[in-house]
Chains A and B, each alone.
Chain A
């Protein structure tokens, strides 16, 4: 089966150890994490972990279900690259001397839609935001000038889907409120759906 790149948006409670639980599942299945970022989501108190992994369609579905089974995971969304809007960010540190070799670097920065973040007498820092392959292309072209440091961030992504996470959460919270009013509230409500 063909492997593809998938992005998992994992919404979780803010609970220590959750990342550990997620990586245990991926490790057992021999899946490498290509990139990972974690931050608070648009909903206060809810963490969003964004993972990029390469695997098969069949496997991504299996691990997504296993991840969603973790008690403190609220919801997992699986996306192929065309279903999301995503970016990564890279920083390149070069010696200032490299600038002196003419305006090739200025040209590269402009044509790659990158920018200078800092220029000192010793070094320059270039920032590039984009997809991984765009960043790698710039990396390639900068390489001959001697890169002192290069770092690329994890993927950040928002989905193109129409139903947003907070709507899903609202339903859950309503169910919770009903639950508090009436013991078996949620069960009956869910059954009717």
Chain B
């Protein structure tokens, strides 16, 4: 047989294709060949009746495509998303029709809100049965429509290559996002002459925007005259790989850089211009000083309400420059003065030579003053408590120091997430994997699996809450099955901590259904053959974490933390960012 990989010359390869063109293969096989053409080597998924032809073919392609069987389709979706976030390649997840497809929905919506390219492939009942409420038929196209960037149903094998090519193009270009392809069983078993051509252009979809030179030039003038400028950097910086340009821009102009939750890690936390995290539980300085800034340069972020607080009292002094690839995000929440509807990297590249060197010492001092206040009142008691129960912040800080800020951190949702984002000092891009727009509990564990598979050489550490861990706890089975050496730290506060915090602050401490009766987590992990320890005393902490980090197997730490801890600072719902509180 002709070996494609060993083909020496392009002509040989071309001939190989010509030859293959005439050969008829099944839709199922064509799908896998398409994925290989797109550079896919890992798929997360779960089989079932309608998708069996595809799974059957996976056996023949197991040298080229690794399939990770998760324990729930939601897990496959989150893992594929995390895989995409750490590798920069689109993730792929498979599910069968009906319940398999609907189980993906939370994961699809999560990827949609956080702009992550994932190609979801669901199977569908035989095309003649569609619309009849056949066994395991659901209208997944209708269900997923509001949470996908694009979706389509394939009913004939011949359509597979073109639609898959389109799916990858749409998922990965412009503002990335999840796409879904629903393939009927008869399209999987039907035959087609296989030929693949990557998609490079769709008439109705134009992700590359002409560079807005005039607007960027006006922005430069504003920036050059600003006295209190502030950069707000979001996920778009990471997506467009503009970290170096952002750094160059900030260093040249001396403008402080605040980041959103998903923008975290786009700018090194130990940089002198790093201003910290924005938003509800962000840092004091960037929240407070947003309302003093005279020019705001928002890059690849969308003014989410968790970031802006009360919109009516948001950034009243500032002229706003918005660099954003998605035109529908511009002027959506905040009216801006200069619209730059471009890729962040391209816009910054053009902007950098136009701005004047500056240092803004006086303005930066205001950040340092606020940082000091926050350090003394909030941070120090959190990361260096001398007595009392263990705090989430001190654990995160310890992990940060022991890994020098170079691990990939995955979080679940709630207090654990905010502690991780606040106290880990991220150095390298794309090293915080978290659920931002959706705030999906149960994201952490499966996402850590996807992250580790995507970056096997980097330590992957997940911070989880005792509530969220139990939402997708079955993925411990995936860790066992595929021997994935992720490090799991579960903060046990015996509460749904973040909701309890809100009950404490806004519902007169009425703890309705937030206290948890928990199982013996260490025992559960031992059932999955995962080394596990329970830490209840501060003295045990360093050694336990060190053991965990040194292990080359998966590892689980249950850490008993303060039961009623409070994440601060906080911009309370309805409050302005400048009213950020540093005590309850």
Residues of A within 8 A of B (CB): 12-13, 17, 20-21, 24, 28, 61-62, 65-66, 68-69, 71-74, 169, 172-173, 175-176, 179-180, 183, 186-187, 190-191, 193
Contact = CB atoms under 8 A, between A and B. Distances in A.
A13 B205 CA distance: 11
Contacts of B209: 190
Interface string B195-218: 000001111111011110000000
A187 B150 contact: no
Contacts of B332: 62, 65
A71 B170 contact: yes
A173 B201 CA distance: 10
Interface string B140-178: 011001100110000000000000000000100000000
Nearest to B166: A71
A13 B150 CA distance: 13
B210 A17 contact: no
Interface in B114-153: 141-142, 145-146, 149-150
Interface in B307-336: 326-328, 330-332
User: Nearest 7 pairs between A and B by C-beta?
Assistant: A65-B328, A74-B204, A190-B210, A71-B150, A179-B201, A66-B328, A69-B328
Interface in B513-560: none
Contact of B141 (A17, A68, A74, A186): A17
Nearest to A61: B331
- Between A12, A62, A73, the greatest number of chain B beta carbons within 10 A of the residue's beta carbon is seen for A62
- Between B150, B205, B211, the greatest number of chain A beta carbons within 10 A of the residue's beta carbon is seen for B205
Contacts of A61: 331
Nearest to A21: B145
A154 to B, nearest CB: 23
B201 A69 contact: no
A24 B146 contact: yes
Interface of B: 141-142, 145-146, 149-150, 170, 200-206, 208-211, 326-328, 330-332
Contacts of B331: 61-62
Contact of A186 (B145, B149, B208, B330): B208
A183 B328 CA distance: 27
B124 to A, nearest CB: 14
Contact of A71 (B141, B204, B328): B204
Given A65-B327, A65-B328, A69-B328, A179 B210 contact: no
6 contacts: A13-B203, A13-B204, A65-B328, A65-B332, A69-B327, A72-B204
A181 to B, nearest CB: 12
Given A69-B326, A190-B210, A20 B145 contact: yes
Nearest to B346: A191
A85 to B, nearest CB: 26
Contact of B145 (A13, A24, A73, A193): A24
Contacts of B327: 65, 68-69
Contacts of A191: 210-211
A134 B82 CA distance: 59
B522 to A, nearest CB: 45
A9 to B, nearest CB: 15
